[in-house]
Structure 1
């Protein structure tokens, strides 16, 4: 997805390399990605590609070039020993000079939009996030599990842009005492955000790491993107993008057009029935043969609320339809019953850049089964169409399933 470029050093006539990844649009705000101690390896290049998919022009400079250019290590014991040696010999002041040179290189690129630039660093790069925030004019610096920041707190008086620091509860490189010192020092600083992820260890955001923790990584990434978007963009109309996707799903019923609104490898998960697809091939197959052309002709959505975040939408709505066709994704293997159904639903729609990345769709399957006659609600704590009706009219009776409700009245 990306390519190697040369970056002009600002303290000599030398150049050093960096991996540059561009968003699909070809342009966007600029972000420097700070490497781990393993160099500009496959993982760091993948991170740059990931941020490019989010809409950024992402550059990973080789911060070891003054010691050993082109370091590209794996994660074996031998690689780790080499990485630690390089980290211990790194001139941190020179590294910040090279990060600043990388900012200058980004500003010179015609693909970079906007005056503000961002920085996202991991491990060693996480420590450098602090110094980047205090020694450069970066608009937003994000650091993952940085080490040694507690010894550099005196530089906070120079902190001007937004700073986001992600820490792992079980990280021995930055223990609870170090985190407490950092948090206490930055308490009340309205431009600083500090997050600690419970039960995880160093490198929790590195895919493939023994310490990789997907929930913590997802939460940290969402907070990082939210901070970057707040300070440097890019800004997309997520509501309009979602409406376009829905239009092709339910109105035009055009599968290629639906897929065109999504990233290269999206996924959909209808939570109660586990239907959908992961990846373009399987999701396109699902849309073509089991969703877009299989929905009843009278199916409609009644919007109730929409919450728009930095990179996702949460939609609350009621879906109405007559069960006149077999609905594979909601009622697989159930022949049409001709029953009319109204069901509250919730969709969590995540984007990467201006493309839809995933849909998580939730509903009460028991209510659906009651309404089509496959589940007798008598004696069970379930309801039918009443769940949709009460969502539309909160004045309808509450607690009708609770036999003991009448006994608590005073």
Structure 2
């Protein structure tokens, strides 16, 4: 937990508790994060901390303060029963008022970028409240709802939506059955500022880590969509290409491991897919960089850029890596003594960022092409190629389909 508890003052002179997580930049756009029915518990604090790493200052108000202040439940059957009883007593209209009070209070704090917009993000009960906030709070810029319960009962308010609205809905959610999903989708399809995503084969609370229904891949995609919407509407704006270039410089030019690690989050990971080399976590990855990567690459190793796509949270780089195999390269050709061969291979890097820090790298290449070029794999009779893969990427006019024995059989056939 990196945040702290504070007291929020509302317009009626009342106060209630809230968890505040400050942006990694010290100051950032403000987000009010709305709780599940279980209160401001560890899961909600972790969500706030994650958004703070993304550059936001996040306030998680105790929305149960009128009926059961400081509620913090787990996910046992007993806790679920308590949470459901509180949910039945909860007044949603007052909850939206508390969200407005929280947004107003956020703007008085020095951890907020006053020139940025405001957003609400919510889960479960908080998901419905985020939707209602989009309908009722006129100065809201963005609202994101994860598996909100009961949104279909308030679709008559959708006509008032001015903010960007993103809904994440689980296909198997018993609290949002098929007819409810269809009603929500049909209604919001005509609201220009709204996006509705249905996540197949996942259940309610699929984005809650360690939960019974947690589905990592869906949670990651939903988070990426959430950050993309937030970036577009309230910022912050990071130059991901420049951050990536800085990281590459420390890896391949200055070859400085501490500087390389300083560009990354506290617990990053790197996965070179074909050889499964890299590391997970600061300790393992810094060891990998120090003893098996940064100082172990050939001196003539260079990167030839082909294309780059920059998104809201990641950079996808297409490039050719060129080098002479004059030293053992643990991460690329592990266990193979230097052959002195010249190698050129197309590579693809998917580089994810969390705020201004690099979170992970997924690096792909054709290992068969590498093995052909260093003489460890005879391509004769196999559907593999050597340096030709790089040469064709640089010059698309080079012949295609040379590995297809059947290619010549279609030469004189008509094409529809």
Do they superpose with TM above 0.5? yes
Q: Pairwise mapping of residues 2-401 of structure 1 onto structure 2 (< 5 A)?
A: 2-10=3-11, 12-113=12-113, 114-136=115-137, 137-401=139-403
Q: How far off is 1:371 after superposition?
A: 0.4
Contact 2:126–2:148, Cα closer than 8 Å, also in 1: yes
SS in 2 for 1:152: helix
SS at match of 1:112: coil
2:90 and 2:42 map into 1 onto residues whose CA distance is 21
2:116 touches 2:235 (CA, 8 Å); kept in 1? no
Offset of residue 348 of structure 1: 0.2
The structure 1 segments of at least 4 consecutive aligned residues displaced by more than 6 Å after TM superposition are none
Query: What whole-Å deviation, never above 9, does each CA across 1:206-257 have from its counterpart, x for those lacking one?
Result: 0011110011001000000000000000000000000000000000000000
Task: Give the number of aligned pairs.
Answer: 409
Identify unmatched segments of 5+ residues in structure 1.
Answer: none
Preserved CA contact (<8 Å) 2:148 2:169: yes
Q: Residue 363 of structure 1: CA displacement?
A: 0.3
Q: Using the TM superposition, give the Cα deviation of residue 158 of structure 1 relative to its aligned residue in structure 2, in angstroms.
A: 1.2
Deviation at 1:9, TM superposition (A): 2.2
Give the drift of 1:115.
3.9
| Structure 2 gap ranges (5+) | none
CA distance in structure 1 between the partners assigned to 2:220 and 2:185 by the alignment? 22
Post-superposition shift, 1:116?
Answer: 1.0
Kindly indicate whether the alpha-carbon contact (under 8 Å) linking 2:24 and 2:56 is maintained by their aligned counterparts in 1: no
CA contact (8 A) 2:23 2:111 kept: no
Aligned counterparts of 2:151 and 2:406: Cα–Cα separation in 1: 57
SS at match of 2:258: helix
TM-score of the pair, normalised by structure 1: 0.99
Task: Indicate conservation of the 8 Å contact 2:326/2:340, yes or no.
Answer: yes
| 3-state SS of paired residue (1:403) | coil
Deviations 1:286-307 (A, max 9, x none): 0000000000000000000000
Task: Render the CA deviation track for 1:259-292: whole Å, top value 9, x for unaligned.
Answer: 0111111110000111001111111000000000
- Please provide the CA RMSD for this pair: 0.7
Q: Please state how far the C-alpha of 1:110 moved relative to its aligned partner.
A: 1.3
